[in-house]
């Protein structure tokens, strides 16, 4: 069974630029999550989708972050414009029952 795929793995941008991350969850998983992990902190939920509907986006900074999940499968997370404090690892996960499976993450550096 293929795992959660994410791209790119690494991204370096200047502040005020835009960036987008892509996630392909495990086939058949209805629930998809995006987490932000800042150095020294645990992963923090940004947004949770159930199929292509948003379940929880209470911690998503909506003035600069957006996310979509078209057709209930792949998802993209966008940051526009990026700030220095957005430097982090962005993890995508999908779940089946209790079990949540993670992709390798995208490490974003904002200069």
Residues in contact with another protein by the rule CB under 8 A? 3-4, 9, 33, 35, 40-45, 48, 55-56, 91, 98-105
- What Rg value do the Cα atoms of the chain yield, rounded? 13
Q: Which is nearer to another protein, 55 or 111 (CB)?
A: 55
Classify residue 73 by its DSSP letter. Answer: S
CA distance 74 to 16: 26
Longest dimension (CA), the chain: 39
Identity of the residue, 38 or 84, whose beta carbon is nearer to another protein in the bound complex: 38
With respect to another protein, which residue has the nearer C-beta, 28 or 42? 42
DSSP 84: G
């Amino acid at each position: 069974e293929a795992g959660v795929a994410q791209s790119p793995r690494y991204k370096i941008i200047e502040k005020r630029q835009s960036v987008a991350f892509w996630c392909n969850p495990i086939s058949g998983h209805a629930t998809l999550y995006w987490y932000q992990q800042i150095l020294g902190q645990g992963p923090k939920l940004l947004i949770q989708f159930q199929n292509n509907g948003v379940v929880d986006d209470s911690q998503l900074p909506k003035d600069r972050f957006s996310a979509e999940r078209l057709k209930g499968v792949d998802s993209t997370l966008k940051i526009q414009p990026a700030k220095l404090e957005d430097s982090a690892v962005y993890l995508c996960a999908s779940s089946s029952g209790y079990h949540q499976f993670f992709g390798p993450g995208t490490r974003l550096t904002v200069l």
